[in-house]
Chain A
């Protein structure tokens, strides 16, 4: 089938700017949404198969999802954690619940056997049949209120539910071989697991059911005769929270091939939406989604002053988008392209990227297939092209890294920071060069600076020599030589920013990645970590309501 018509793609010089990437919103291509579409299409079955939890909320449960002949099981171990031990952060050591997604069905006895290692999280050795390892804490704002309300036979307050957005929030979600869980190779050949981060998305979606179940369980334990169940609408209203720290930022730099695939799919989606026909159905759907987006932006809470300003601008932008979409213009083939160009000239970055999400929303037929193209075989471009001549490498570098060569490293603020791995938790952290020790151990994440040094060294070397000879003499540039070889084929692979700069906001990178996951309600808690909500207003596993129309769906939309 020939590719649908498309407008020109936005160039990397526009798209790969940290500030813009930090303004991304979820789209149809986001991994949670692709998962829900597949689940609905293939009719995945879901059941709670084990529930052994005592009155205080300690014990374990198993949930099972069946996809055709295959089963995936989520084992959850929960405790009654004292409030002072509860922390959002990866540096915590105890949690309200820990969980693991396993390949295959799991009996209660098998699950029980895993308890000790799963509780240990990073400190334990996990098993090969485990696909995901994670943990979660109860929301201080909402969980107790919910359990208490239900025990009194009432539903929790809507305003509180809207403010918090979730009953429990996860911190780290580990997969792909971490701490002994299965390598991605074990599952990436399966159609249902091919998409990036699919196992992680699935585990969190299943865990969301547990978060509601445990609140109901505690309510029934407290008032066996009087307790109410959480209504289906409220179950739908509540997502799962996630607190994300710096660890995600290096990911985007360390996986240029994957980043390219994600960004390119999103850009193609926009280009197709811009070239799509101007029909009434699309206009109506666009308008409906814009209204939902507006309601969503009004519910979006944060204590972060900068983000609050951005949200205010976004609310105004969406209002302008709605006004423009309501204008009864004559149909023209360029309607959507002109709409986008208007947005580019008139809206804030948050608004422009919201327009990208909204314009692709009515275009499932043109866009959803692109979700299949968001994985990457990263070994494909791993090899350094040693036979390439120095002059050719230099020419390519000047073409693909013009932005890096223009970066000004003379000012102190552009050399202010370094990224390193902490010995304590083996997690990435950010240090101040002037005040903290350890800069000599920094990670190779300041791409612009490394590329400039690589360029200077290439210029000073025999231009007809092969790279093999250059790299034998100067092996310190080998990492950059590999990046260059990837960059020439993956134009959306490099974030065009300086990671050593005091002005760079790591949360921009986190938000970009989280938007690809499908997270919403980004709430920066500092410049280095943020909270988000996942699966809010989404259907439950095993429920079939199209799987798609959930992003900002108002409660009651799902056939209730």
Chain B
């Protein structure tokens, strides 16, 4: 197996997110979240593909005060939730009580969006759900139980002081990828992401090949 590079993962997942209909801004953060996960052995391409292919069934959070899906939606989009959590990280860090999100698809993906906030606020963010959870630090993570859960009815969000001796990975849970190795360029999940990313590209015409790329003069010299 030839491993995917982190840069390929960030670029392709970012494009796939855009191809899946997200705004450029959230797409960039989706790419960054995937990269962060991949660097920690936690990247499951199928999880991203699942969310992006099913975007129509997933809702952004209701409001800044209520991390729950809008009426008529089965679950929260973890990418929209992740972006909002990162935006609200100061509030979360300031409040003593844990924040909570309801009906979250692929909660690990939402958690990964918090790594820039963990960096600027120099703290860790813990997301936990029934049977699993993850603590996100700027450049490390601790995982517990079923970290790759497809869905969580309730996700609790709290602040954890940074570890004294990072980086650490894995708090003793069984952390194994369900999509084979997440950095395998041949995995089915990765192929689904490539397909989504292709939706951002414009099919070539003879005109675009000549004009758009800017030839027109002889190439040889």
Residue-by-residue, is A236-265 near B (CB-CB < 8 Å gives 1, otherwise 0)? 000001010110000000000000000000
Compute how far the CA of A178 lies from the CA of B5 in the bound complex, rounded to whole angstroms: 7
CB of A88 within 8 A of CB of B6, answer no
A441-B200, A478-B25 known; A429 vs B87 contact (CB < 8 Å): no
The residue on A at minimum CB distance from B138 is: A379
CB of A441 within 8 A of CB of B202, answer yes
Residue-by-residue, is A116-143 near B (CB-CB < 8 Å gives 1, otherwise 0)? 0000000001111000000001011100
A382-B32, A420-B201 known; A468 vs B87 contact (CB < 8 Å): yes
Question: Could you say which residues of chain B place their CB within 8 Å of the CB of A526?
Answer: 214-217
Residue-by-residue, is A172-185 near B (CB-CB < 8 Å gives 1, otherwise 0)? 00001111111111
Scan residues 135-166 of chain B and give those whose CB is less than 8 A from a CB of chain A.
none
Question: Could you say which residues of chain B place their CB within 8 Å of the CB of A164?
Answer: 221
A125-B185, A180-B5, A479-B24 known; A89 vs B208 contact (CB < 8 Å): no
B71 within 8 A of A: no
CB of B87 within 8 A of CB of A169, answer no
- How many CB-defined contacts (below 8 Å) exist between A and B? 195
A421-B202, A422-B202 known; A531 vs B221 contact (CB < 8 Å): yes
CB of A423 within 8 A of CB of B198, answer yes
The residue on B at minimum CB distance from A84 is: B220
CB of B119 within 8 A of CB of A383, answer yes
Q: Which of A282-290, A355-363, A367-375, A469-477 lies at the interface?
A: A469-477
A506 within 8 A of B: yes
Closest chain-A Cβ to B76's Cβ sits at a distance in Å of 12
CB of A383 within 8 A of CB of B86, answer yes
CB of B220 within 8 A of CB of A88, answer yes
Question: Could you say which residues of chain B place their CB within 8 Å of the CB of A422?
Answer: 201-204, 208-209, 212-213
Q: Which of A21-29, A40-48, A68-76, A431-439 lies at the interface?
A: A431-439
Question: Could you say which residues of chain A place their CB within 8 Å of the CB of B5?
Answer: 128, 176-178, 180-183
A177-B5, A183-B5, A384-B25 known; A437 vs B202 contact (CB < 8 Å): yes
The residue on A at minimum CB distance from B63 is: A472
A383-B86, A472-B61, A482-B28 known; A243 vs B202 contact (CB < 8 Å): no
CB of B209 within 8 A of CB of A91, answer yes
CB of A472 within 8 A of CB of B64, answer yes
A383-B119, A431-B208 known; A180 vs B8 contact (CB < 8 Å): yes
Closest chain-B Cβ to A452's Cβ sits at a distance in Å of 16
Question: Could you say which residues of chain B place their CB within 8 Å of the CB of A386?
Answer: 84, 86-90
Residue-by-residue, is A183-198 near B (CB-CB < 8 Å gives 1, otherwise 0)? 1110000000000000
Compute how far the CA of A478 lies from the CA of B6 in the bound complex, rounded to whole angstroms: 23
A430 within 8 A of B: yes
> What is the predominant secondary structure among interface residues of chain A facing chain B?
loop
A528 within 8 A of B: yes
A87 within 8 A of B: yes
CB of B214 within 8 A of CB of A387, answer no
CB of B3 within 8 A of CB of A475, answer no
B26 within 8 A of A: yes
Residue-by-residue, is B3-42 near A (CB-CB < 8 Å gives 1, otherwise 0)? 1111110010000000000111110110010000000000
B78 within 8 A of A: no
The residue on B at minimum CB distance from A478 is: B25
Interface size, A (range): 35 or more
Question: Could you say which residues of chain B place their CB within 8 Å of the CB of A475?
Answer: 22-23, 25-26, 60, 80, 83
The residue on B at minimum CB distance from A254 is: B28
A444 within 8 A of B: yes
Question: Could you say which residues of chain A place their CB within 8 Å of the CB of B205?
Answer: 436-437
CB of A481 within 8 A of CB of B90, answer no
The residue on A at minimum CB distance from B204 is: A424
CB of B214 within 8 A of CB of A527, answer yes
Q: Which of B11, B213, B217, B220 has the largest count of A CB atoms less than 10 A from its CB?
A: B213
CB of B221 within 8 A of CB of A436, answer no
B219 within 8 A of A: yes
Compute how far the CA of A164 lies from the CA of B204 in the bound complex, rounded to whole angstroms: 33
Contact of B213 among A382, A427, A432, A469 (CB under 8 A): A427
Question: Could you say which residues of chain B place their CB within 8 Å of the CB of A125?
Answer: 2, 185
Compute how far the CA of A432 lies from the CA of B120 in the bound complex, rounded to whole angstroms: 42
B116 within 8 A of A: yes
Question: Could you say which residues of chain A place their CB within 8 Å of the CB of B109?
Answer: none
CB of B201 within 8 A of CB of A426, answer yes
Q: Which of A169, A422, A466 has the largest count of B CB atoms less than 10 A from its CB?
A: A422
Residue-by-residue, is A377-401 near B (CB-CB < 8 Å gives 1, otherwise 0)? 0010011101100000000000000
Question: Could you say which residues of chain B place their CB within 8 Å of the CB of A430?
Answer: 212, 214
Closest chain-B Cβ to A296's Cβ sits at a distance in Å of 19
Question: Could you say which residues of chain A place their CB within 8 Å of the CB of B47?
Answer: none
CB of B213 within 8 A of CB of A139, answer no
Closest chain-B Cβ to A299's Cβ sits at a distance in Å of 16
Contact of A421 among B3, B80, B117, B201 (CB under 8 A): B201
Scan residues 36-87 of chain A and give those whose CB is less than 8 A from a CB of chain B.
86-87
Scan residues 183-221 of chain B and give those whose CB is less than 8 A from a CB of chain A.
185, 198, 200-205, 207-209, 211-217, 219-221
Closest chain-A Cβ to B70's Cβ sits at a distance in Å of 12
Contact of A436 among B6, B11, B90, B208 (CB under 8 A): B208
Compute how far the CA of A139 lies from the CA of B220 in the bound complex, rounded to whole angstroms: 7
Compute how far the CA of A379 lies from the CA of B212 in the bound complex, rounded to whole angstroms: 32
Scan residues 76-118 of chain B and give those whose CB is less than 8 A from a CB of chain A.
80, 83-84, 86-91, 116-117
A467 within 8 A of B: yes
Compute how far the CA of A14 lies from the CA of B117 in the bound complex, rounded to whole angstroms: 35
Question: Could you say which residues of chain A place their CB within 8 Å of the CB of B207?
Answer: 435-436
CB<8 Å pairs between A and B, sample of 30: A86-B220, A87-B219, A87-B220, A90-B213, A125-B2, A177-B8, A178-B7, A183-B6, A383-B86, A386-B84, A386-B89, A387-B87, A420-B202, A422-B208, A422-B213, A423-B201, A429-B202, A429-B212, A431-B208, A472-B60, A472-B64, A472-B87, A475-B80, A475-B83, A478-B23, A478-B83, A480-B25, A528-B213, A528-B214, A529-B214
Q: Can you add 19 more A-B contacts, CB < 8 Å, to A88-B221, A178-B8? A: A86-B219, A92-B219, A125-B185, A139-B221, A140-B220, A183-B6, A382-B29, A420-B201, A424-B203, A435-B207, A436-B207, A437-B202, A438-B203, A472-B64, A472-B87, A477-B25, A478-B83, A482-B25, A526-B216
Q: Which 8 A-B pairs have the closest CB atoms?
A: A478-B25, A528-B214, A386-B87, A177-B7, A177-B5, A429-B212, A438-B202, A468-B87
